[in-house]
Amino acid sequence: MNFSSKKSLGQNFLRDQSIINLITEKGNINKRDVVLEVGPGTGNLTEKIIQKNPKDLILIEKDERLAFYLNKKFGDKIKVFNEDMMKFSYQNYYDKRLIIFGNLPYNISTQILAKWVKIKNLDKFCKKLILMFQKEVADRIIAKTNSSNYGRLSILSNWKMNVEKVIDIEPNCFEPAPKVKSTLLVFTPKKIFYEINDPTNLEHITNIFFSQRRKMIKKPLKFLFTNFQDIAKKLSLDLNLRPQNLDNITYYKICKAYESLIN
Ligand code: SAM
């Protein structure tokens, strides 16, 4: 079936069978699993997932034409929601340990990731996420401390999940071909992670630090804490360092200190 692709919905459909197979294998699906695919498009990956016989397969597709087509094509093997993945009520699935697949539309990829990370018992909500991003975004997610890509996105993504890079994918694996490369990442929720009351505080803090990434950390610390010198001492922070020199854990600790101040 040929659909004119909608640029506004980031519609670049995967065509390369070896990549589609690789993505499916990364799910390690068994017949007790409930699988969620967001943005299934024309169902190229969906078809391979069905072959693995999951217990349930839920699809969220915003494009009405595609949702209708998928329903017709796969019938009772799937349950399609013609909805926006950003507005979808995930509550019904909070204890399902989903395997989540998504060749994500570029314009909302970081927002949807942040939305999922913020779900409280993430390891009960999902077992694994196999997600495709624009390469430049994936590079920021997996960036290590002291690198130029390290920042808000790496700190938030690595807070409750382990992230593994699988492969970079060339534009010609898609139809229509995007202008940039893509990267496949696998996320596994951690059982043990640093306790933070409200992850929006972590976003707030990292926003303040990294909006001036060349400045020394004294400036954002002073902005956040009147007693910034005590905080620096308590966390053994060298005030001459730059935001990219502090590791993830240090940001989680700064967040905790901030939370004890505002609560
Ligand atoms: N998974 C398919 C594939 O790999 O061939 C299509 C991937 S395409 C990059 C992104 C898909 O997400 C499109 O089918 C698009 O219609 C859908 N989409 C875009 N924004 C969406 C949203 N907010 N909620 C649900 N689906 C969305």
Q: Is 25 helix (H, G, I), strand (E, B) or coil?
A: helix
pLDDT over 70, % of the chain: 99
Phi then psi for residue 64, to 5 deg, are -60, -40
**Cβ of 63 below 6 Å from ligand 1:** yes
Q: How many domains does the chain have?
A: 2
Q: Which residues of 207-235 are buried (b: 16+ CB within 10 A; e: fewer)?
A: ebbbeeeeeebbebbeebbeebeebbeee
pLDDT of residue 219: 96
Which atom in ligand 1 lies closest to the alpha carbon of residue 39? 12
Give the domain CATH number at 76: 3.40.50.150
Helix axes 64-74, 44-51, angle to 10 degrees: 30
pLDDT band at 196 (very low <50, low <70, confident <90, very high): very high
Helix axes 152-160, 248-262, angle to 10 degrees: 90
Does residue 147 lie in a domain region? yes
Instruction: Give the range of the structural domain holding residue 52, as residue numbers without chain letter.
Output: 7-189
Residue 138, pLDDT > 80, answer: yes
**Cβ of 61 below 6 Å from ligand 1:** yes
> Mean per-residue pLDDT for 39-61?
98
> pTM for the full model?
0.96
Strands (E) across 109-259 are located at: 126-134, 161-169, 174-175, 182-189
Does residue 1 lie in a domain region? no
CA 170-176-177 angle, to 5 degrees, is 25
pLDDT of residue 262: 82
- Supply the residue whose CA is at minimum distance from atom 22 of ligand 1: 84
pLDDT of residue 3: 73
Which atom in ligand 1 lies closest to the alpha carbon of residue 107? 20
